[in-house]
Amino acid sequence: MIVKNEAASIGRCLDSVKNIVNEIVIVDTGSSDNTLEICKTFDAQVFSFPWNDSFAEARNFGLNHARGDWIMWLDADEQCTISDLKAFSEQLKQETELIYAVHLVNYIGKDTNPDHAFHITQPRLIRNHRGFKFINRIHETFDLTNAAPYLLNQNIPVISAVFHHYGYMDDVIYAKNKVHRNIALLQREISDQTHSPWMEYHLAVEYARLQYYEESFKFVNLSIARFVESQLMPPSLLYRLKYSVLIASGNLQPAQEGIEKALLLYPDYIDLHFYKALILYLMNQFDEALEQFEHCLAIGDQITSHLSLKGTGSFQAWYYKGLCYEQLGCPDKAADAYQKAADLSCGYEPAINALKKRHSDSATNRLFSDLLL
């Protein structure tokens, strides 16, 4: 791990792995709070590394101090949960595997609500002493080119572990000014002509967070183009961002025209199917939207290599079915859909509010009827 002033979260993180790992290697880049004191209570080895605006170099410094057969990397604002430690250990004994991904849950919003989270699988465990290094100044990732080139265009096997990431919840982003920090580092990164096309994508994400949709759209398209120029398939989450930006900025016609092409590339990506349905709904094509939301439910929520928002194949699709039924003059079907959305979620507010409004309207109508009588 690399840390700096993480006293608020580091204890929670290390407590989650203390019975899983054999050693804890901490690279500190200049903490001034009691982060290091907390780390030492977990018998962590702490090393200092002068911050040079490169997360990859700090991570690689830490790799040099790790002695175990396998290395798991985390951030201080994460927790690891493993429901079956025996199965986890058995997977690490597979001699043919060099790298594993985990199920990563990225929480967003004001509180830790499982309904407000993005899900994806992400490489987080590597076999030590096999040439793995981190690349990219920010949003660092493993360089597979030398260590495992055969995995460049393949799905990485998933191990039975879940990482919970809290670093992009509203209070954390505000407290650390993450967006502007990230933009500055990303702009430095893309000034290098040999940079990864991922950097334009990450820059587009940060601009989208600021609701600078024109800039976000420009950079996500640049990212797609640079992947193509590199003779690589643009990853699916680039198209998710592209169409979310078009929807958020009200450019529905080009979104409708383009999303079919994205679905040809990634026909199993539930979020793209959901966006197709949402575009139809926003364009007042309610019958077509209803059919598409039903298709989303048929696909269901899936944890895959695609970045997916919780509920696009379940409670969110049911909620929008309710909205469609409202517009089509079917209030009873709408109420049933809202109830289904509420039942499948952990208190999905839009559905609950829709049910409350319906009950309130019904009570008001009964009152008017009594007065007329």
In a domain, 33, yes or no: yes
Vertex 245: Cα angle to 339 and 189 (nearest 5): 130
Report the C-alpha dihedral over residues 370, 339, 345, 205, rounded to 10 degrees.
-90
Cα separation, 40 vs 153, in Å, equals 40
Predicted confidence band of residue 168 (pLDDT cuts 50, 70, 90): confident
Q: Name the H helices within the chain.
A: 10-17, 35-40, 55-63, 85-92, 144-147, 170-176, 178-190, 198-209, 213-229, 236-248, 252-265, 270-282, 286-299, 315-327, 331-344, 349-372
Predicted confidence band of residue 100 (pLDDT cuts 50, 70, 90): very high
In a domain, 8, yes or no: yes
Cα separation, 120 vs 109, in Å, equals 18
DSSP letter at 304 equals: S
User: Judging by beta carbons within 10 Å of its beta carbon (0-12, 13-18, 19+), is residue 216 exposed, middle or buried?
Assistant: buried
Mean predicted confidence (pLDDT) in 60-75: 96
Q: Answer whether residue 68 shows pLDDT above 70.
A: yes
Q: Answer whether residue 92 shows pLDDT above 90.
A: yes
Contact 11, 85 (CB under 8 A): no
**Across all residues in the chain, what is the average pLDDT?**
92
In a domain, 318, yes or no: no
Cα separation, 122 vs 75, in Å, equals 13
In a domain, 145, yes or no: yes
Question: 269 φ, ψ to 5°?
Answer: -90, 105
Q: β-strand 78-81 against 158-165: which pairing, if any? A: antiparallel
Cα separation, 64 vs 127, in Å, equals 13
Say which residue the tokens 């699709």 belong to.
317
Among residues 13, 8, 85, 80, the alpha carbon closest in space to that of 42 is found at 13
Contact 75, 4 (CB under 8 A): no
Whether the model clears a pTM of 0.85, i.e. scores above it, the answer is yes
In a domain, 322, yes or no: no
Q: Answer whether residue 315 shows pLDDT above 50.
A: yes
In a domain, 323, yes or no: no
In a domain, 337, yes or no: no
Q: What's the CATH code of the domain at 156?
A: 3.90.550.10
In a domain, 252, yes or no: no
Contact 139, 202 (CB under 8 A): yes
pLDDT digits (tens, 9 = 90+) for 286-296: 999 999 999 99
Cα separation, 81 vs 17, in Å, equals 8
pLDDT digits (tens, 9 = 90+) for 125-151: 999 999 999 999 999 998 888 888 877
Cα separation, 321 vs 337, in Å, equals 6
Q: Write out the DSSP string of 124-168.
A: EEEETTS---EE-SSS-EE-HHHH-GGGTTSPPPEEEEEEEE-TT
Which are the contacts of 84, defined by CB distance < 8 A and separation ≥ 6?
160
Domain that holds residue 30: 2-172
Mean predicted confidence (pLDDT) in 238-259: 97
Give the largest CA-CA distance in the chain.
84
Predicted confidence band of residue 365 (pLDDT cuts 50, 70, 90): very low
Residue 142: beta bridge partners? 134
What is the identity of the amino acid at 265? Answer: L
What's the Rg (C-alpha) of the chain?
23
Predicted confidence band of residue 26 (pLDDT cuts 50, 70, 90): very high
pLDDT digits (tens, 9 = 90+) for 184-219: 999 999 998 889 999 999 999 999 999 999 999 999
Cα separation, 372 vs 284, in Å, equals 36
Report the number of distinct structural domains present in the chain.
1
pLDDT at 36: 97
Q: How far is CA 140 from CA 75, 124, 185, 271, in A?
A: 12, 11, 12, 25
